Every structure is written in structure tokens, then in C-alpha cells.
Amino acid sequence: MKFAYEANAWGGVVGTPGSVTDVASGFYFTPGDVHRTLGAIAAAGYGGVELFDGNLLPFEDSIDDFVSAVEANGLEVAGVYSGGHFIYPDAHEDELARFDRSIRIASAVGARHYVVGGGAVRSTGRRDEDFTVAGAFLDNVAERAKASGLVASYHPHLGSLAQAPDQIDALFAATSIGLCIDVAHVAAGGGDPVAVIRRYADRLAYVHLKDLDRMTNAFRPLGEGDLDLDAIVEAVIDAGYDDWITVELDGFQGDQDHAAATSLQFLQRGKLF
């Protein structure tokens, strides 16, 4: 098992402003110095990094520069994270153009995993057909990612189409894409991470770990929240998973460098993996 860290800890997440009028230009990205972030992740002891596809756009014509920076820090690109709306068929052509660009860059930097989050929620709420439309679209994205050598997965996320347990089940019934389990998002959305891992053990493609303060739904470093991480780790191992484990800590207000280091120490405690 190898451990990576999500770069969004140092800067959070914003979106490209042009996507307001141009769907194909919409990317997540984390503001800040990516080189400083790579150094912080390496200094904390991790072997890999995950980052948003938007943070790769500045290197689109100089991929070797980014790859060299990653390698200079002794890291690998464990994953690249993207997102979209999925539920509006008229926008699929433009969304696929964006995903094709994103997948191309992710493959070029040698990423292992391609994580897709999102799925829009209408102003009037979710419709049953949204899960069907989104599921078929995710299958299309997953096939394109696989053709480029990437392991594709969908990440249930707070505020997205698939947040609560019944919504996750509805979407995964409509798609064959793998699961990226983010244990804190699943718990904050009202689910049991262990139950979700066991239910979709044969589709577990990638793992995001962070802890959660259940009183406030605030994300915490590993071991500093309320999640039963030992049970979660046991479920991951029982599922036969043996790939990157990526720690993520978006929205944490404390010392991010210290949090990254303490989370890795927690994982290494008692040889959890």
C-alpha cells in the first residue's frame, strides 16, 4: 500500500471563471504554488500526490516540467480529480470535450487514478432520471479514461447528485464506474463508510481518507475525529484493495503541514496497512 496526499489542502478549491458561459472550459483548481505543495507533501513523508486537473493546465504545453518537479520531490502522481454536471444531455458534448482534455493531461503526467466528482443537483431537487443520465455519462468518461491507461472512479461528495446512501445506490445502479470512497464525505452525508465499502467491495477502485467531527461535519486529520478508522481500514483490506491510499484534508483551518505529517503517522501506527 502506498500513501499520497491531496494538494487541495494548501489553498482549497475554486473553479475557472470562464465556465459560467463555456461548459468546456470548466475545471477545478487549487490557488497557490504547486511547487511549494509538492515539497510539503514530500516533507510530510508521502510518496504520491493527487491534484485537480485545473492545476495541470498551466503545464499543458510543458508536461515534462511538471513531471520533473514531481520526480524531484520523490513523488508519483497517484491521481487527478475532475468533475462535472452529468445530468444535462444537451451539455454532454461540451463536457466530454473537457473530460477528453483532462484525461489527456492526466495520462501525460503518469497519473494512476482518474477521479470524477460532482453531478449537478437541480434548483428543484434531484429527479430519478438524473441518476440514469449521469450513470450512462460516467460510463462514457470511464471508458475514455481506461483507454488512456487510467483507473476511473466516481467520488460521492457532499452537495452533489450522490451524497446520501440512497443516492449513492441509485447512481451506482446506473453505472459500472468504480467507487472512490471518501470516508468522511460518506459519513457526513449520512452513510456508514464501512457499509458502503463492503457493499461495493468489488467496485472499490480508490480510497480517500480523512477524519470527521460529527458534531460540526468539519474534516479533521486522521485520528482527530469521530470515525472508526480501524474498522474502515479493515473493510478496505477485506475488500482486497491494494493500491494508493490518498489522505485529503480540504477546509481544515489548522497547520496543514503538521496535519499531513500526523495523518501519515496515524496510518503507520501499529502497521494499519
> d(Cα 154, Cα 251) in Å, to the nearest integer?
21
pTM, 2 dp: 0.96
> d(Cα 166, Cα 170) in Å, to the nearest integer?
6
245 within 8 A of 4, measured Cβ to Cβ:
yes
CATH number at residue 77: 3.20.20.150
Backbone phi and psi for residue 23, each to the nearest 5 degrees, phi listed first = -55, -40
Q: 228, 227, 237: which is closest to 273 by C-alpha?
A: 237
Q: What is the pLDDT tens value at each position of the chain, 273 positions in all?
A: 899 999 999 999 999 988 888 999 999 999 999 999 999 999 999 999 999 999 999 999 999 999 999 999 999 999 999 999 999 999 999 999 999 999 999 999 999 999 999 999 999 999 999 999 999 999 999 999 999 999 999 999 999 999 999 999 999 999 999 999 999 999 999 999 999 999 999 999 999 999 999 999 999 999 999 999 999 999 999 999 999 999 999 889 999 999 999 999 999 986 666
CA 268 from chain center: how many Å? 22
* Torsion sign (Cα): 208, 214, 220, 223: negative
CB burial of 211-249 (b: ≥16 within 10 Å; e: otherwise) equals: bbeeeeeebbbbebbebebeebbebbeebebebbbbbbb
Length of the chain: 273
* Torsion sign (Cα): 184, 187, 191, 192: positive
259 within 8 A of 16, measured Cβ to Cβ:
no
> d(Cα 251, Cα 57) in Å, to the nearest integer?
23
Q: What is the pLDDT of residue 273?
A: 66
Q: Give the chain as a 3 state SS string.
A: CEEEEEHHHCCCCEECHHHHCCHHHCCEECCCCHHHHHHHHHHHCCCEEEEEHHHHHHHCCCHHHHHHHHHHCCCEEEEEEEEECCCCHHHHHHHHHHHHHHHHHHHHCCCCEEEEEECCCCCCCCCHHHHHHHHHHHHHHHHHHHHCCCEEEEECCCCCCCCCHHHHHHHHCCCCCEEEEEHHHHHHCCCCHHHHHHHCHHHEEEEEECEEECCCCEEECCCCCCCCHHHHHHHHHHCCCCCEEEECCCCCCCCHHHHHHHHHHHHHHHHCC
Cell numbers for 240, please give them: 482486497
194 within 8 A of 220, measured Cβ to Cβ:
no
| Structural domain count of the chain | 1
82 within 8 A of 115, measured Cβ to Cβ:
yes
Domain range enclosing 85: 2-271
